[in-house]
Amino acid sequence: MTRGMEPATYYHASARDRRPRPALSGDIRADVAVIGGGFTGVNVALELAERGRSVVLLERHRVGWGATGRNGGQVTGSLSGDETLRRHLVPRIGAEAAADFVWDMRWRGHGIVEARVERYGIACDLRRGHLHAAWHPRDMADLRAFAGEADRRGMGDAVTLLDRTGLRERLDTPLYHGGLLNRRNLHLHPLDLCRGEARAAESRGVRIFEGTAVTALDPGPPATLRCDGGRVTAETVILAGGAYHGLERRALGGRLFPAALGNMATAPLSPDLARAINPENLAVYDTRFVLDYYRPSADGRLIFGGGANYSGRASADIARTLRPALERTFPQLKGIGIDFAWSGQAGIVPNRVPMLGRTAPTVWYAQGYSGHGIATSHIVAEIVAEAVAGTTGRFDHFASIPHARNPFGDRAGQGLLALGMLYHRLREAVRS
């Protein structure tokens, strides 16, 4: 993709900040070099700048170009790999502390996002309100258990368990058997949030270069990054490119696999129709393993995603692929125009636990949020920044978790992942 070009997504078309940034030209030095201008990279840069470090951020395309600017825009208390993480931590810190750690991880990202928006005045269409919708009657048991946990932990006033009638009052669809209404969860314009955070980072002295591909990494010390237009020397490098970078493959290859996630945005709905189908402007996803997710935009569209393709290849016609699910969910929208349809790559880890670690004493990495990227990326950025600054406790919790590596490489691992997801699809079809 030519530098400066934007993907054809609703978020890029409606972004408030379109200001391009220069490419790197010449040789520079910094305390920390961050590779990747998505949520993880931008926020770890901001966190470190707030701690007094000099930071350079390098982005191959534009800030928010990858998964950050292509996702469903939901900030929820879902955490991939939560049970694996909890079980791993029990021998290290005890059962109660492990449960507390996982629960805090669920909600810490919400607080960081809201604080960023407030502190730096970021306009990103931030709203509260979310429905976790039960696809099958038996799914209500898990939602009921989560509501009980929320109540025990003092969050009971934020969640309401809904039966089928209660859900239908808030969402005019015939599909679901009930759900969990969550007033703590958020939804927003993710690209506006990321670019607002990038401006905040620049206000703290972070130097951001777009259109700058890193072609080689020498860990040093000090580490040296060779780029198209120059070179960066730094004491610390942070890899924050997720499924979009190809660096340090000897250490990271065969551990993370891209899933192509499709999204689309309808033509604007009439105000009456928008109120009729979703009167409280809630974001929604369902309880399936391979789920649908959707929410209203600030300008009255329905942003609808799903149909994850675990082969790593995007559908040739995303709107055609997603339209049947949209019209099954809301028959009232049959035939509605689709103004935007796009795909993005989410980094999937087989055990679903985010991958944090180091490939060398100077090179840190964070990746693999398995479809839960907005909240998780903000938490991970905080954890990585505090570790680089010398407080490694939370980072070490994640770095100690083993991640299987496919010895046959990324392509073979992608095939195995696709087979695993096919199993889950078939299992859910049988259960339905």
Q: Which DSSP string corresponds to 160-173?
A: EEE-HHHHHHHS--
The pLDDT tens digits of the residues spanning 144-174 come to 999 999 999 999 999 999 999 999 999 999 9
Q: Which two tokens stand for residue 109?
A: 């990202």
pTM: 0.92
Question: Is residue 96 domain-resident?
Answer: no
> Do 61 and 41 share a structural domain?
yes
Please name the amino acid found at residue 210. Answer: E
Strands 230-239 and 223-227: antiparallel
Question: Is residue 262 domain-resident?
Answer: yes
Q: Are 118 and 186 in contact (CB under 8 A)?
A: no
Question: Is residue 225 domain-resident?
Answer: yes
> Do 277 and 262 share a structural domain?
yes
Q: Phi and psi of 198, rounded to 5°?
A: -65, -40
> Do 286 and 149 share a structural domain?
yes
Question: Is residue 104 domain-resident?
Answer: no
Average pLDDT, the chain: 91
Helix ranges restricted to H, 62-152: 82-93, 95-120, 140-152
Burial class (CB in 10 A: 0-12, 13-18, 19+), 347: buried
Span 335-339, average pLDDT: 98
Q: What is the CATH number of the domain that holds 147?
A: 3.30.9.10
> Do 139 and 272 share a structural domain?
yes
Place of tokens 């944090």: 356
Separation CA 31–CA 358 (nearest Å): 17
Strands 26-35 and 230-239: parallel
Q: Quick one: pLDDT at residue 423?
A: 42
* Proportion of the chain above pLDDT 90, given as a percent: 78
The residues that bridge with 347 in the sheet, in sequence order, are: 258
Strands 55-58 and 26-35: parallel
> Do 147 and 135 share a structural domain?
yes
Lowest mean pLDDT among 26-30, 288-292, 306-310, 410-414: 410-414
Separation CA 308–CA 311 (nearest Å): 9
> Do 329 and 266 share a structural domain?
yes
CA distance to 4, 98, 108, 163, 390, per residue, from 104 (Å): 38, 10, 6, 28, 21
**Residue 6 clears pLDDT 50, i.e. is over it:** yes
> Do 344 and 264 share a structural domain?
yes
Q: Which two tokens stand for residue 152?
A: 């025990």
Please, which pLDDT band fits residue 424 given cuts at 50, 70 and 90?
Answer: very low
The pLDDT tens digits of the residues spanning 100-128 come to 999 999 999 999 999 999 999 999 999 99
> Do 304 and 216 share a structural domain?
no
Question: Is residue 107 domain-resident?
Answer: no
Separation CA 310–CA 260 (nearest Å): 6
**Residue 418 clears pLDDT 70, i.e. is over it:** no
The pLDDT tens digits of the residues spanning 58-101 come to 999 999 999 999 999 999 998 888 999 999 999 999 999 999 99
Please, which pLDDT band fits residue 356 given cuts at 50, 70 and 90?
Answer: very high
Q: Whose CA is closest to 16, among 211, 199, 241, 186?
A: 199
Separation CA 294–CA 387 (nearest Å): 35
Question: Is residue 39 domain-resident?
Answer: yes
Q: Quick one: pLDDT at residue 415?
A: 53
Q: What is the CATH number of the domain that holds 35?
A: 3.50.50.60
Burial class (CB in 10 A: 0-12, 13-18, 19+), 337: exposed
> Do 164 and 200 share a structural domain?
no
> Do 183 and 286 share a structural domain?
yes
**Residue 185 clears pLDDT 80, i.e. is over it:** yes
Question: Looking at per-residue confidence, does 315 or 43 come out higher?
Answer: 43
Domain count of the fold of the chain:
2
> Do 355 and 341 share a structural domain?
no
Q: Quick one: pLDDT at residue 371?
A: 77
Q: Which two tokens stand for residue 53?
A: 């470090």
Separation CA 233–CA 132 (nearest Å): 46
> Do 355 and 340 share a structural domain?
no
Q: Quick one: pLDDT at residue 416?
A: 52
Question: Is residue 427 domain-resident?
Answer: yes
Name residues whose C-beta falls within 8 Å of residue 2's C-beta, 6 or more positions apart in sequence.
Answer: none
Question: Is residue 103 domain-resident?
Answer: no
Domain of 362? Answer: 10-71+191-255+351-401
CA distance to 138, 146, 411, per residue, from 180 (Å): 14, 9, 38
Please, which pLDDT band fits residue 3 given cuts at 50, 70 and 90?
Answer: very low
